[in-house]
A and B are shown apart, each in its own frame.
Chain A
Amino acid sequence: MLSRTAANLFWMGRHLERAETAARLLDVGERITLLPNTPEGYRNEWESLLRASGAQAAFAERYGEQINQENIVSWLFFDQDNPSSVTSCIERAREGGRIVRTALTSQVWDALNTAYQELRALTRRPRGQLDTPMLTDFTTRHGSTVRGAINATQLRNDGWHFINLGYSLERADATARLLDVKYFVLLPRVEFVGSGLDNYQWQVILRALSAHRAFHWAYGGDVTAAKVADFLILNGESPRSLLTSLYEAVWHLDGLVKRYGETVQASASAKARQTLDSLMARDIEAIFDEGLHEFLSWFINEVAGVSTAVHEDYLSGRM
């Protein structure tokens, strides 16, 4: 497979997952604003979204001090100046898909292209007609259709591994960042920890990850910080947990190593496995002792390292 083709497939997977992340961030923000208010008002929560997506500076450049719902929705969904907005991600995923059209089945292309065409129709409608839940639904629905087409129709070859590697690394990164939103929300008022408000916020996180029902099936009983964090970080059944996401990345990297044999450098596979081992050696108490934010920062950094190694091993086109 051409290195450029592999790179496009990898980034197509990443952008598709990232579009969903942007939509989930919107959903988290929307629900946090429905909470009985914190003394700082909702500005604080919206700001936490920007911090979690690492976009404070870029947002300020575009909208100044106006951190309000309307601007945030524009930024996270519509704004083409934001490389992580839903619109940017779907456009890039579709552009990448168009470039490697030959590596996709017609069903996958159809699903991807339909998402893009409908997005274009959506952006032409007056903003007043578009509420946040609708935008979130739009994104997750199309995301699921594309993913379903990939799983149902793509050959299980190296291209499939690259797409899924993109998905899983992006998902690992995204769950970590969504968890970090929680950290930023709570940071100013440590005394909230363990309060009713705190628990409600954890539930919001679960809901944003489409995991609130799954959580109850898996754990039962009260929502506590330890249980939710365990579910989203260390639970191997939870589809978006850090462990599951990383495990899938390792699985796809192993698939590439098996397929390509020993002549092709495999630093990404080694790095991913090392991170996975290190993750599995922890329990939730250890993570809280270490500090959730510190742990998440470590993890995000490790995932970025794996991604760099994927580029070096496969996508850079060594001569």
Chain B
Amino acid sequence: MADSPADTDVLAPLALDALHRRLGARMVSFAGHAMPIQYEGIIAEHLWTRGHAGLFDVSHMGQLLLPLAADAALEAVLPGDIKGLGEGVLRYSLLMNETGGIIDDLMVTRRARDLYLVVNGATKAGDIAHLRAHGLDPQWRDDWALLALQGPEAVDVLDRLVPGVAALRFMRGGAFAWEGQDLWISRSGYTGEDGFEISVPVAAAEAFAEALLAAPEVRPIGLGARDSLRLEAGLPLYGHDLGRHTTPVMAGLAFAISKRRKVEGGFPGAEIVLRELLDGPRQKRVGLSIDGRLPAREGAMVFAGDTQVGMVTSGGFAPSVQAPIAMAYVDAAVAGDGTALSVDVRGRRLAATVVPMPFKPKHYVRKGAQP
């Protein structure tokens, strides 16, 4: 058997490190930290989250603050409407480069006193440098941990601990408190399920996580299941499905270009991206359903007949679908739903079909929906 991941002793421990180890997590190196990849097993954790509530530690992600007055300057580095963002509203956005590529994907929330950004763990240092180079001075709040509680029973559990959170709707956030500690909670996540992301001071993080885990509906979930859950939900992962050579249009993320910004432009790569919106991209991110049981992983070549038409950027066995699934970039001509393609895995050609994403229906609680 090939060697297992390198030891994790040298990495900076995060707020819940001791808790993860006590819970029997297998820790791996991820984004410069020791993080839990799994506890009882990826499939069990994945299915538990879809059926109940899973607690994820995502404290490796970067939580950054900008002053409210920085909204115009922030619009110069991303294509979202930040000036017009309502208080307590989250917006998914993209830090972009001059060629229309993606430097990172992130969430921006306008709060009462600041703009709150959540960026990817592996890219946070680069993002901070990039923002500084563009005249912004983000404050990195590594004194906050970030937890996610995801799944159909998340709302019941969290509302018992923090009354009032059930009133939040998808992509809305608010200030709450638990035992005298300030929390920032949004109804959002990365699993395709209803759920919440909770920013909690590091000093209170372990006690708060333990309080959540004391609920019978909640189990701890590692990064392994986080990846399989997001893949089934059709959500791209930066560094794999998104990067400096993929544009928002190629990635199917044109919704992140706000209406006003489509008219006004003024974000990096605007000319390229707005032209691509009209003309269509050369390649598109698609979902692939793969015949059989053998997973196709990142880097697997995609073929139409004998012609290579693209590459898998994320792939694996989908526990809720009970089959291998993948995301790939393929030539626009073969990106239509239902197109029959094949994927090369160790010299074997697996039959694959372009399918719409998500692979599993999402269960978000949107504005206007009945509680």
User: Do A and B make up one complex?
Assistant: no
Residues of B in contact with A (beta carbons under 8 Å apart): none
Residues of A in contact with B (beta carbons under 8 Å apart): none
